[in-house]
Amino acid sequence: MINWDTEERKQLITLLKDIPELANERSRLQILESAGLKQLAPMIDLSGASFIAVSEIIRYLSNYGRLTYDHESLGLFLNTLKGFVGIQQQEFLDGLLTKYNMMTPIAKLPDIPQWKGGETTADVLEKIIGENTLRPIAFLQRGLEIARTVAYIGVQSGHERWSGTGFLVAEDLLLTNNHVLPSVDLLPNSIFRFNYEEDFQGHAQPSEEYQAKPSGLFHTNQDLDYTLVQLDGKPGQKWGWLPLKPSNVKRRDRVNIIQHPAGRPKEISFQNNFVEYVGGNVVQYVTSTLNGSSGAPVLNNGWQVVALHHAGGDIPEPTTERRYFRNEGILVDRILPNLPPELGKLINIAAS
């Protein structure tokens, strides 16, 4: 149960009631389901005006308390909503998540305008129907093996905390976004948690945490939004790693993303995820992600890494400047030539 400061509770309700995604009962239910709170939704009255419904959601989730040791139910809800508000509102929500110890906030993303779909439902259905989506059952087995390489990242800087996703590309090298880990100064207070996931019944699995290697390798690039960090203990010997190699990805391909959306246990978005654009330094795709998915591997149907997921929203195509509702990853083909020679050599050895 959360013991609210009255003024902060009022400010929270005022902020949330104006979010378009909470404007009606159906969309409120969708947000709760996206936050992993589907089992609680039937107990909450989602009807009525936004102010009343939002007040009821906050009241119920505040009283319900924790779903797991790490996650307040309200924390999951607020972390999910960060994807629908601007930078200042994200900072306010981060403050509440930290002050009331609800859960680690997800990493802040650039201020993105309201997302607008560039294609109709009929367009998407036309792509899904008529294509053979049968896969050998080993496709799932290989996906589980790949998933072991993906880690939850928790970062703390002073009183601020945030989370993201990353994945091993060698036995002790992890790749994530610059906006998740922008500075070497953050490493002493950062954790890298592997096997942070649940079984089919929703039971937490044993996880292991690692830290950055003291005085280890660290390289970051803000323009390409990537960071490589060396971890202590060589976690890849247990969890494996994903080779980083030049790869070919083209429009109409499918991509799969293994991620920690909204700081939750590991999830996967796969199959009905279409590449819509490849150009400049990026690949753009229609898929399911949330804030907190930043730093996840974008994988083709052969489970090869083609990009590093980093953003989404109403984003422009670099070569045409037309804007579409999509997600975006930095192409591996652009990251590899940018690496310093020492790191490039280590990545090549790990990929061979």
Q: What is the mean pLDDT of residues 270-297?
A: 82
Report the range of poorest mean pLDDT among 1-10, 40-49, 124-133.
Answer: 124-133
CA nearest 241: which of 161, 305, 293?
A: 305
pLDDT of res. 34 = 80
pLDDT of res. 114 = 39
Please give the mean pLDDT across all residues of the chain: 86
pLDDT level of residue 262 (50, 70, 90 thresholds):
confident
Higher per-residue pLDDT: 71 or 266: 266
Spell out a b/e string for 144-159, using b for 16 or more CB atoms within 10 Å of the CB, else e.
eebbbbbbbbbbeeee
- CA distances for 255 relative to 70, 136, 232, 284, angstroms: 30, 17, 31, 10
Cα 221 from chain centroid? Answer: 19
Per the structure block, which two tokens stand in for 202? Answer: 């929703």
Q: By the 8 A CB rule, do 134 and 111 touch? A: no
Q: What is the pLDDT of residues 190-222, one digit of tens each?
A: 999 999 999 888 899 999 999 999 999 999 999
**Does pTM top 0.85 for this prediction?**
no
